[in-house]
Amino acid sequence: MKTLSIIIPCYNEESVIEATYRRIKTVLDALPAISPQMIFINDGSEDKTMYILSDIAQKDPTVKVINFSRNFGHQAAVTAGIHHCDSDFAVIIDADLQDPPELIPDLLAKQEEEQANVVYCVRRKRAGESKFKLWTAKKFYRALNKMAEVDFPLDTGDFRLIDAQIIEQFKRFKERGKYIRGLISWIGFKQTPFYYEREARFAGETKYSLKKMLSFATTALFYFSKKPLLIATGLGFLTVVIGVIMALWYIFGKIFGYTNAESGWTSIMIIVIFFGGIQLLTIGVLGQYIGILFDEVKERPEYIVDNVVEA
């Protein structure tokens, strides 16, 4: 009998978590010839999520709850789920029912049909998201694709099915900053899309603050691309060229007398500001990578588990 784990990261999801559990349970109960498990990662919720989950885990032997010592973020929570999973297949799914659990059998069928190692879900529509989020996400993922070393499929989230081979390879990643959908693409093997319509959140509010979104985007960009360094170098090169042309212009101007050296305060200020700006920008880009090196070199654990609840 094949085993299947459902990995569900949860942060302050008291208003949905019970419904999520029941909906997934119904789907899993109807699956033939599969031994299912649910792994909930409670990412340091400050509300009643932990109590609700503990209650569920005590009654249902197929449920495992991993409680973090504090909030470590969505990607760390999913990572912990994969680390704690040794099934033949795993499905990563959000706790807010935006990704319908009813699609799980379809994902399994698609896997079987195509013998794929990954079945990643591509959103055809996204209900209930702000215009700002849709627009920034669209622009960001397209820009990221231009910059990144790997070609990422567009309009996908972490909602996907992965098999034992991917799980095993994923466990080998030592980096702390994880951009999971990118890493799974990076692993390779056979990856197949599955098209679906993303629903609105069942209840509660988004747990992705602007700050979390920015940090997520930064990890995606700087962990998967060295292009920003190349752009910085390009800017440096451009300014050198401009500098040389201007130097020649002024030197010849002095010799042939077509410039007046005294006036020129404005042009000097413009040049100073322009070059200063480019230098700061370039140092900033360097700083990003140094910051990442600093974080990675410390080799701190990516998350701390307080306890695991199982029946």
Nearer to ligand UDP, 9 or 36 (CB): 9
Helix (H) or strand (E) holding 268: helix 265-298
Nearer to Mg ion, 75 or 282 (CB): 75
From the list 127, 111, 295, the residue with the least C-alpha distance to 215 is 295
Residues constituting the chain: 311
CB of 64 to ligand UDP, least distance (A): 16
From the list 32, 79, 277, 266, the residue with the least C-alpha distance to 183 is 79
**Judged by CB under 6 A, does residue 221 bind ligand UDP?**
no
Is the separation of the CB atoms in 156 and 118 below 8 Å?
Answer: no
Measuring CA to CA, how many Å separate 205 from each of 12, 44, 260? 9, 16, 64
**Judged by CB under 6 A, does residue 176 bind ligand UDP?**
no
Nearer to ligand UDP, 74 or 185 (CB): 74
Nearer to ligand UDP, 76 or 167 (CB): 76
Nearer to ligand UDP, 117 or 156 (CB): 156
DSSP E strands in the chain: the ranges are 2-10, 34-42, 63-68, 89-92, 118-126, 156-163, 191-198, 305-310
CB of 224 to ligand UDP, least distance (A): 19
Binding to Mg ion by CB under 5 A, coded x per residue (else -) over 67-86, reads: --------------------
Region 15-74 residues binding ligand UDP, contact defined as CB under 6 A: 43, 71, 73-74
CB of 203 to Mg ion, least distance (A): 11
**Judged by CB under 6 A, does residue 208 bind ligand UDP?**
yes
**Judged by CB under 6 A, does residue 161 bind ligand UDP?**
no
- Residues with Cβ < 8 Å from 72, sequence gap 6 or more? 43, 44, 302, 303, 304
CB of 54 to Mg ion, least distance (A): 23
In 160-203, alpha helices (H) = 164-170, 180-187
User: For 177, which DSSP code?
Assistant: S
Query: How many CB atoms sit inside 10 A of residue 203's CB?
Result: 14
Size of the site for ligand UDP (CB under 6 A): 16
- The single-letter code of the amino acid at 247 is A
Q: What is the rounded CA–CA span in Å between residue 11 and residue 40?
A: 10
**Judged by CB under 5 A, does residue 96 bind Mg ion?**
yes
| One of 98, 185, 219, 225 touching Mg ion (CB under 5 A) | 98
Helices 74-83 and 180-187: angle between axes, nearest 10 degrees: 40
Which of Mg ion, ligand UDP, none has residue 207 at its interface (CB below 5 to 8 Å by kind)? ligand UDP
**Judged by CB under 6 A, does residue 96 bind ligand UDP?**
yes
Q: Which chain residues interact with Mg ion by CB under 5 A?
A: 94, 96, 98
Interaction site with ligand UDP (CB under 6 A): 9-11, 13, 43, 71, 73-74, 77, 94-96, 98, 206-208
